[in-house]
Amino acid sequence: MAYIKEDNMLQDLKGLVSIESVSGQPEGELPFGEGPHLALEYCLDLCSKLGFRTGRCENYMGYAEIGEGDKLMGILVHLDVVPAGPGWTVEPFDATIKGDRIYGRGVIDDKGPAIAAIYAMKELADSGKPLGKRVRIIFGCSEETGEWKDMEYYKAHEELPDFGFTPDADFPLIYAEKGILDLILRMPKAQSDLVSAEGGEAPNMVAGKCEAVYLDEDGMEHALMREGKSAHGSMPWLGENAIGLVMKEMKGRFAEFYNETIGQTYDGSLLNCKLSDEQSGDITINPGVIKMDEDWVYLALDIRYPISFTEEEVTRRITERVEPYGVEVHVAGGERSVFLDKDSEFIQGLLAAYREITNDDSEPMVMGGGTYARAMDNIVAFGPVFPGRECTEHQPDEYILIEDLYKAREIYRLAIERA
């Protein structure tokens, strides 16, 4: 508990977590809805009270800054969260402290790290030490949707950092991220043998619940509902997909398509898309959402593919595999892969800060998760999850150890000071 300090950091985190900031449809002049806007206002107000210079990018996002100089270091965080989903044993938007943990949606992804970075900046500002640069924390409001219109607005209107990090992944450091591809597979309802189907909260979450009604060969209706276990879509092995559980028991043409091309796998093997490379490992494919309208059944796939492959090749392989079932494939979005030189002076400087605090010489890694490191040049993902810790982002009862949050803050303070 050596890093825990008597200050308002946890109280400020509780206030931020209490805002249900799920990014959604525009509401008037609020491009991502009221929740993310309230979270942005909360953080800008907090930073202003702490003595930072603040700025707003219309209602798309905002930033807060300390220091002086021509060089600009960026810390990219996001204030939006995924929906709470089922299975919580505590109130997801109440930041509950139990023992040595703090629970709540966003405490690790990404509100907790955002508050830790703010307090790291505050310590440096209060110290009076000249930094020789400006340090700007940039508050995104729509990271979890995958569209990143917030970052598009920032890049079009504001000064870009020369380098920086996003505290939205793992320690010691992520120097490469797989490509992300969002595909929508759709089958005509009339050909599906489905009456209704609904499951999953977001494409980048393992579906925690699914309900469906299907027709058997005699035209009789049968209802199924199954609960699985939510997890981040980039690590589907940590969850249990409720869509797959329902399809495994269901009959009919859509179920046949699903079970023969996806089934209980997440490695692309049934989709003729089992791809891998030495630098970044294996592809992962997560069927995150199923839904229907009057004409179509839709299945959303969240795909994380190795850096040596392309979006076009992945899409082609999957299209060729599913077309014989009468299924169409549409590209809903994607993000380029990230690959930086892990031996660069900047990355080695961040690693040195981590190693000084932890005495851990672990090497930097590649991951399938997608962070704001993809949004700008010379940005890497840096914490807050320490090696060996349980990954709870996008899961019910999301939590972070309180000591880990303060330790991450100390690492960020040292990294910012020395960068």
Active-site amino acid positions = 80, 143
Closest of 68, 191, 186 to residue 131, by C-alpha: 68
Number of helices (H), then strands (E), in the chain: 9, 23
> What is the maximum span of the chain, computed from C-alpha positions, in angstroms?
78
| Nearest by Cα to 255 from 305, 331, 193, 171 | 193
For residue 218, how many other CB atoms are within 10 A of its CB? Answer: 5
Q: At what angle do helices 34-49 and 111-127 cross, to 10 degrees?
A: 20
Indicate the pairing of strand 284-292 with strand 296-305. Answer: antiparallel
- Write the DSSP assignment of 171-231 as a string of letters: SS-EEEE-EEEEEEEEEEGGGTTEEEEEE-S-TTB--SEEEEEEE-TTS-EEEEEEE-B--
Taking the C-alpha atoms of residue 365 and residue 349, their distance in angstroms, rounded to an integer, is: 16
Q: Which amino acid is at 246?
A: V
CA distance 42 to 34: 12
* Best CA proximity match to 66, nearest among 142, 152, 130: 130
Encoding tokens for residue 379? 């940005």
Which residues, 6+ apart, have CB-to-CB distance to 280 below 8 Å?
176, 178, 306, 307, 308, 337, 366
Read off the tokens for 384. Answer: 């807050």
Say whether the peptide bond before residue 172 is cis (omega within 30 degrees of 0): yes
Residues 6+ apart with CB under 8 A from 388: none
- The position carrying tokens 């009456």 is 195
Position of tokens 């996806």? 262
Burial 193-216 (b: 16+ CB within 10 A, else e): bbeebebbbbbbbbbbbbbbebbe
